Structure 1
Amino acid sequence: MTDFVAIQITSSPSVADNFDLLEEQIKQLPNKQQLLVLPECFACFGARDKAQFDIAETLDNGPIQTRLSDLAKRYNKWIVAGSIPIKPDVETKDSAMPEKFYAASLVYNNLGERVSRYDKIHLFDVSVDDSTGSYKESTTTIPGEHVVTFDSPWGKVGQIICYDLRFPELIQEMPQLDVLVVPSAFTRRTGEAHWHALLQARSIENQCYVVASDQTGVHENGRETYGNSCIYSPWGELLANLPVNEGWVAAKYDYALLAKIRNEMPIQQHKKNRKII
């Protein structure tokens, strides 16, 4: 039986259509507790930047969050809900942030309760040699400030989103992880170059499972995403991979393997505090 699942879809600007795609994938899974990871921007992708603000919700209030909670409870899943746009609190919003939101990855347990929220810290403001060319996520998105983990039936889970994967120091700030979840919308160009190398490195250096869910294919606005949703073991082994199609990949959690790797190579105990001179 499987414990970890990464779902891969080609999201469109239609929230309703994307949820239908998502539920079709979930229906194929066994009715047992599993940690299910969705891609970044799973609910709306491939439209103009303003489309994300148009569907943005306040925390714990809105149809996207309600349906996520319902899916988690109905299908007995822990859902790491990729990322959705969450509006800033009234108290923190100011004139310098018009029509901006947090790219928030919300986590729901199998009772439908929200148990965690991570706001994407590193925003994708880069140039890429692809059909889009220039990406400026900070135009619409407020960067997060907090390192986030949550407790689960599979141990300690660390949360990052997409571009965060390139910043290992963020993950090093977390306590010893059992699982790292990586909802993403990696571009095809950067994915071909770096996706698997980065995921494997994070699994090896943190001695944890890595469950990575990515968007795939060509989207309505011409943006191309890489796919290759996958799961890595704490030893850096590729346990499952889905190259291009919509669907899902799954793998089993093996606590005995996790303990054996850490006992034989106790990296956490060997870490040193160094002075910069």
Structure 2
Amino acid sequence: MEENSLHVAIIQADLVWENPNQNRENFTKKIEEITQDVDLIVLPEMFTSGFTMTPEHIAETEEGETIIWMKKMAFQKNAAIVGSVAIKDNSDYYNRLFFVHTNGLIDTYDKKHTFTLAGEDKVYKRGNSKVIVNYKGFKIQPLICYDLRFPVWSRIAEEDYDVLIYVANWPKIRVHAWNTLLQARAIENMSYCIGVNRVGLDANNYEYSGHSAVYDALGKKLSTIQPNFEGVEVIVLNKKHIDDVRSKLRFLDDKDSFSLE
């Protein structure tokens, strides 16, 4: 693979409700069927369970089977893997994103904006800090679903990054907002923006249509994955694109200063 590039596989999939074993098996098949060399594999939010508000049925620890599985897949494919999982940490539940490196090291992010409309805030403890992952010459900020609606949380301020990632269970009924905001986040931060969403029906009869996408720093859509269907697509990100756009246009030099409290 060329220098200063990142080959990213986005996996848009249906999820089996509260069945981690079956979901891991399904994703194993999809990952093993990727024939191209890739650097990073992106899975949806809560990819082992769907967006469940009863984590006591399926939540794991960081030493559980899903994290072991992610490490195994990352090693086998020589590619980092990112996705979120319902985790029990002491007596609290978290919607926790894991960025698993090929060497087994892990970066984690706990979803800050828990989805009050579904009562996620009553079940899962919210996070309060962002993480910037340094990987193969790229700085990556991973976020989760509802975080997409809050631009201040992703806005480039003191910390810089090249790629935003949103993993999601975003319902079809509000997919116009998903499409619009993903593109907006790319444009306003002059970064790549990746959104990976599920498809299918969940146990609450909510429908998900995917619309997983990758946008470049000017908001141009790079991906062609089809809505409503399972699919895997590999997109190449180039560091030079970020550097060239930012140095030529310099819009970030005029950004507003602010602090998060």
What's the TM-score, normalizing by structure 2? 0.90
Query: Which residue of structure 2 aligns with residue 8 of structure 1?
Result: 12
User: Pick from 4, 14, 30: which aligns with 2:35?
Assistant: 30
- In the alignment, the residues of structure 2 paired with residue 46 and residue 202 of structure 1 have an alpha-carbon distance, to the nearest angstrom, of 23
Cα distance 1:154–1:231, how it changes in 2: closer, same or farther (>3 A)?
Answer: farther
Cα distance 1:232–1:239, how it changes in 2: closer, same or farther (>3 A)?
Answer: same
Cα distance 1:174–1:38, how it changes in 2: closer, same or farther (>3 A)?
Answer: farther
Query: Which residue of structure 2 aligns with residue 55 of structure 1?
Result: 58
Q: Do 1:185 and 1:226's aligned partners in 2 also have CA atoms closer than 8 Å? A: no
Query: Which residue of structure 1 aligns with residue 226 of structure 2?
Result: 242
Query: Which residue of structure 2 aligns with residue 225 of structure 1?
Result: 208
- In the alignment, the residues of structure 2 paired with residue 29 and residue 15 of structure 1 have an alpha-carbon distance, to the nearest angstrom, of 21
- In the alignment, the residues of structure 1 paired with residue 137 and residue 131 of structure 2 have an alpha-carbon distance, to the nearest angstrom, of 16
Query: Which residue of structure 1 aligns with residue 68 of structure 2?
Result: 66
Q: % of aligned pairs identical?
A: 27
Q: Do 1:161 and 1:182's aligned partners in 2 also have CA atoms closer than 8 Å? A: yes
- In the alignment, the residues of structure 1 paired with residue 95 and residue 119 of structure 2 have an alpha-carbon distance, to the nearest angstrom, of 14
Deviation at residue 256 of structure 1 after TM alignment: 1.9
Q: Deviations over 1:233-271 (max 9, x none)?
A: 111011113311112122111222211110111122222
- In the alignment, the residues of structure 1 paired with residue 256 and residue 94 of structure 2 have an alpha-carbon distance, to the nearest angstrom, of 35
Q: Do 1:157 and 1:179's aligned partners in 2 also have CA atoms closer than 8 Å? A: yes
Cα distance 1:170–1:272, how it changes in 2: closer, same or farther (>3 A)?
Answer: closer
User: Pick from 214, 221, 228: which aligns with 2:197?
Assistant: 214
Query: Which residue of structure 1 aligns with residue 171 of structure 2?
Result: 187
The aligned runs of 1:1-277 (5 Å cut-off) are: 3-12=7-16, 13-30=18-35, 32-45=37-50, 49-50=53-54, 52-59=55-62, 61-80=63-82, 82-89=83-90, 93=91, 100-114=92-106, 116-126=107-117, 135-172=118-155, 173=157, 175-191=159-175, 193-240=176-223, 241-273=225-257
Query: What is the total number of aligned residue pairs between the two structures?
Result: 251
* RMSD, matched Cα: 1.8
State the one-letter code of the partner of 1:86: I
Deviation at residue 33 of structure 1 after TM alignment: 4.2
Which secondary structure state, in structure 2, belongs to the residue aligned with residue 160 of structure 1? strand
- In the alignment, the residues of structure 2 paired with residue 197 and residue 270 of structure 1 have an alpha-carbon distance, to the nearest angstrom, of 23
Q: Deviations over 1:193-240 (max 9, x none)?
A: 211110000001111111111011212331211311111111101111
State the one-letter code of the partner of 2:7: D
What's the TM-score, normalizing by structure 1? 0.85
Which secondary structure state, in structure 1, belongs to the residue aligned with residue 89 of structure 2? coil
- In the alignment, the residues of structure 2 paired with residue 31 and residue 233 of structure 1 have an alpha-carbon distance, to the nearest angstrom, of 21
Deviation at residue 121 of structure 1 after TM alignment: 0.4
